[in-house]
Amino acid sequence: MTNPGRKPVIAGNWKMHKTKQEAKQLASAVVNAVKGQSDLPQIVLCPTFTGLETVLAETAGSPVEVGAQNMDWREQGAFTGEISPPMLVDLGVKYVIIGHSERRQFFGETNQSVNQKLQAAIKHHLIPIVCVGETLDERENNLTDAVIARQIAAALIDLTAEQIKGILIAYEPVWAIGTGKVCEATEANRVAKLIRKTVANLHNMPDLADSIPILYGGSVKPSNIEEQLEQSDLDGALVGGASLNAEEFLALITATQKKLRLAPTKS
């Protein structure tokens, strides 16, 4: 986190976990623990759709923000089971995860649908957390760089530099999600640099690329977060399993606070 203009982010993706009561308890534990604290990263909780309203109520007036795990790009219509951007805005949601590998793998999301959702999120003033990442087969065949560059370029088609400025990007190698395997911090940082280079090339604006927070996701734990935070181009984490336990999630926040206190201030 060498750029003091990029505020670090610790976002918890709860996936398909937590009833309303469980969501309330977890959100309350996080809110109470960070109350009155300084040097906090941006904290985002992403519960299931059924837990959104509960978590929004628990986090109201706190430094903790709320995001959705997915959305449709259309505003309304005969699309059974889908949730539209205006519905999220109506609830008070601020962030939305777009293009998570599980959505790509199990629900047929493509680079095109990621772009459509990204444009819709920006239109409705939601902050997108855009996920990219390669499979194990792609990594073993030395295709990581090509896959990541293609996913980034496709996601950002038809977006202006001003629109791109408001997004977050999460590098989530598919082979590290939920497997207990973690990408070496230096390698994750190398890919983050590639992401910035790809973004910069779209508009020939290195400063734009340097302003975008890039998160790492994939078996993030208190035992490995500090090494990731030491990297020049990683600005936090999109957390899965460790976000389901208040103690573990708060340990990630504490590690980020320590890093913030040691970081140079913006001149």
> In CATH, what number is assigned to the domain containing residue 23?
3.20.20.70
Whether 138 is covered by a domain: the verdict is yes
Calculate mean pLDDT across residues 232-254: 97
Q: Is-catalytic flag, 227? A: no
Whether 65 is covered by a domain: the verdict is yes
* Chain position carrying tokens 């309303």: 20
- Residues in the chain, total: 267
Q: Is-catalytic flag, 172? A: yes
In the prediction, which pLDDT does 244 show? 98
| Structure tokens belonging to residue 95 | 């962030």
User: How wide is the angle at C-alpha 215 spanned by C-alphas 146 and 252, nearest 5°?
Assistant: 145
Lowest mean pLDDT, pick from 34-38, 173-177, 238-242: 173-177
**Looking at 58, 65, 134, 172, which residue is catalytic?**
172
In the prediction, which pLDDT does 260 show? 84
Give yes or no for residue 3 having a pLDDT over 80. no
**Looking at 65, 100, 102, 138, which residue is catalytic?**
100
In the prediction, which pLDDT does 95 show? 98
In the prediction, which pLDDT does 267 show? 40
Whether 4 is covered by a domain: the verdict is no
Give yes or no for residue 242 having a pLDDT over 90. yes
Of 261 and 170, more confident: 170
Total number of domains in the chain: 1
Of 171, 172, 150, 168, the residue nearest 212 (C-alpha): 168
Please report which confidence band the pLDDT of residue 101 belongs to, taking 50, 70 and 90 as the band edges. very high
Lowest mean pLDDT, pick from 41-45, 48-52, 71-75, 256-260: 256-260
In the prediction, which pLDDT does 2 show? 54
Whether 252 is covered by a domain: the verdict is yes
Whether 146 is covered by a domain: the verdict is yes
What is the residue type of 36?
G
In the prediction, which pLDDT does 204 show? 87
Whether 267 is covered by a domain: the verdict is no
Please report which confidence band the pLDDT of residue 135 belongs to, taking 50, 70 and 90 as the band edges. very high
Whether 2 is covered by a domain: the verdict is no
pTM score of the predicted model: 0.95
Of 3 and 231, more confident: 231
Q: Which range marks the domain in which residue 82 is found?
A: 9-262
In the prediction, which pLDDT does 27 show? 98
Of 66, 56, 57, 54, the residue nearest 96 (C-alpha): 66
